[in-house]
């Protein structure tokens, strides 16, 4: 559903938001989390984890092609 770049940006934003809570029970280092996003169709979904949890990410070519910031538009 999202490109690898988008997943990493979303994970960074979630990390920042969680850190801003200044909650005493959060770890000092990276905050571990898993986010499940459901798309409009049953086959459309994404699982996003904190960036430190995904050291060797797999890439879905379809999702990468949908990312307009990294894929030039065809004429």
Residue 15 sits at φ, ψ, to 5 deg, of: -60, -45
Give the number of other Cβ atoms within 10 Å of residue 60's Cβ: 14
Domain ranges (residues) in the chain = 4-61
* 3-class secondary-structure state, position 36: strand
Give the model confidence (pLDDT) of 28-67 as tens digits: 999 999 999 999 999 999 999 999 888 777 777 777 778 8
Burial 23-40 (b: 16+ CB within 10 A, else e): eeeeeeeebeeeeeeeee
In the predicted model, what is the mean pLDDT of residues 15-35?
Answer: 97
Angle at CA 40, nearest 5°, toward 34 and 52?
A: 20
């Amino acid at each position: 559903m999202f490109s690898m770049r988008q997943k990493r940006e979303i994970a960074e934003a979630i990390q920042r938001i969680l850190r801003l809570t200044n909650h005493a029970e959060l770890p000092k280092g990276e905050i571990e989390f898993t986010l499940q996003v459901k798309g409009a169709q049953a086959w459309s979904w994404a699982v996003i984890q904190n960036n430190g949890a995904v050291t060797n990410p797999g890439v879905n070519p379809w999702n990468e092609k949908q990312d307009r910031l990294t894929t030039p538009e065809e004429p």
